[in-house]
Amino acid sequence: MSPDAIIIFSAGVMPLEGGGWRTTTYNESDTFGTLGGRDRVEAAALLAEKYPHAYFITASQVYADELYALGVEKGRIMQGKDSPTTQTAIDIALQLAQERGWKQLLLLSSEFQLPRIEAFYEQEKSDIKATMVSSESVLIKHDPAFAERFEEVKKTLEYQKRLAAEARGVAAVKSGTYRPAPIEDKKER
């Protein structure tokens, strides 16, 4: 079944020299480790070709602008309400799906974040179906050479740091003790 909408989870933004903003790369990190937002945008643009009727929901104008620059029609891109946390991004996506009558969502993020997204989604007990897809899997399918690059990313200290932070986050979600990190600790501006 084709998704009605594809939700692109944010991995922060960085300032451009001379003004403006751009998505983050795996080479950039915050308090919790590597980021990788640009790969999410590139994967979303590939999914736009695969699912020509799906809408794209971003939490940031920067992500929306980059998606448009990669060829996704403006009419298919919707900027969701400000969602500074993974949990609020899921809440907003499900609310939007209810309002629009969407039955199937594709939740797109980096491989390391998907377990936490899934933990939050399961807590919602929504009748809206959601499929988790990693940006890395989409990019590897499109260009197998990406697999080698991603294997190198996985070896970095910043990636290992992110995996550990995500594991703690999943455990906290499941135990009911999860608290979002302060915005100062993130690259989400």
Residue of 119, 121, 150, 128 lying closest to 43 (CA atoms): 150
Residue 89, pLDDT score: 87
Residue 186, pLDDT score: 55
Which amino acid does the sequence have at 48? A
Residue with tokens 């009911």: 176
How many whole angstroms separate alpha carbon 124 and alpha carbon 38? 28
Give the tokens for residue 123.
């807590």
pTM: 0.92
Residue 83, pLDDT score: 61
Beta strand ranges found along 9-156 (DSSP E): 13-15, 21-23, 29-30, 33-34, 55-58, 77-79, 104-109, 129-134
The end-to-end CA distance of the chain, in Å, is 35
Residue 137, pLDDT score: 97
Are the CB atoms for 173 and 120 separated by under 8 Å? yes
Pairing assessment for the beta strands 5-8 and 55-58 based on DSSP bridges: parallel
How far apart, in Å, are the Cα atoms of 43 and each of 32, 68, 70, 143, 184?
A: 23, 13, 10, 11, 27
Are the CB atoms for 104 and 1 separated by under 8 Å? yes
Are the CB atoms for 141 and 147 separated by under 8 Å? no
Region of residue 34 (left: phi > 0; alpha: psi -120 to 50; beta: else): beta
Residue of 44, 105, 37 lying closest to 70 (CA atoms): 44
> Which CATH number describes the domain made up of 5-181?
3.40.50
Residue 79, pLDDT score: 81
Low pLDDT (below 50) residues in the chain: 189
How many whole angstroms separate alpha carbon 146 and alpha carbon 131? 22
Domain spans in the chain, listed from the N-terminal domain onward: 5-181
Share of the chain above pLDDT 70, in %: 93
In angstroms, how far is CA 68 from the centroid of its own chain? 16
How many whole angstroms separate alpha carbon 61 and alpha carbon 82? 10
